[in-house]
Structure 1
Amino acid sequence: MQLNGKTITAAPALTLAQLLKQQGFDGSRVAVELNGSIVSRNDFGKVQLQDSDTLEVVQFVGGG
């Protein structure tokens, strides 16, 4: 699986929400593209990941 351009290994039947937590992302502060399509935050817990998936995760940062 590719995460932000890096190859990672994930457990079988892992959900997107589980992967985000495992990788240290706050699911409420990210946008996720899975295989070229944006995933709704409401679906993070429903999306089952595959070894062949490509993910791009963008974390929102506050500032002023």
Structure 2
Amino acid sequence: MCSDCGRVGDKPALDARSWVCPCGSVHDRDVIAAQNIRAAGRADRGARVGPAPVPAQRGDAVTHR
């Protein structure tokens, strides 16, 4: 799972030590696993965990009457 956008991708091969998410983030397999385990521990304690909010691109945020 990408820690930046929250996307869950296909399981990489065990010999792949890093991977690139379609959002452009580059992740080390061991580091991202540690971050996900930490987030799961926080969620068990009631904390809200998930990717950070992403601002809408210009033109995507529209106000309708």
Same fold (TM over 0.5): no
The higher radius of gyration belongs to 2
